[in-house]
Amino acid sequence: MPWYIRAMSAFETDRLPADLASELENKFFWWEPIGLQPRSPARILAQAMNLAPFDEVRRLEKTLGPELLAEAMLAAEPGWISERSWEFWRGRLTLATGRAIPDAPPRRTFDAGQF
């Protein structure tokens, strides 16, 4: 199993309260989910972290704590968090948790040899 699947699975342990997840999804997603599956808590939180204004940032920090937010960053898939938001959160959460967070968000990679 790839590391990012393990990381996302580890994150989705219902640590994002359902009412908060619903509120964040309504606020930060303006399009319907693709397919029949609902959005994962990891995806919802990453989108909120990517787009939230500062007052929402402070609310997320207070409500969820820096450890859970750092886990969400480490579980993010390519394209979920912009470089600008990544740098913002990386600075805040590295200071708050002491955890090592990569310098850049995950990127899509393609191996031409597979094609």
- pLDDT score for 115: 61
Tell me which H or E stretch contains 51.
helix 41-51
The string of pLDDT tens digits covering residues 56-94 is 999 999 999 999 999 999 999 999 999 999 999 999 999
Residue by residue, DSSP assigns 72-95 as HHHHPPTTSS-HHHHHHHHHHHHH
| Per-residue b or e along 25-36, where b marks 16 or more CB atoms closer than 10 Å to that residue's CB | beebeeeeeeee
Q: What is the pTM of this model?
A: 0.81
Q: How far apart are CA 17 and CA 100, in angstroms?
A: 26
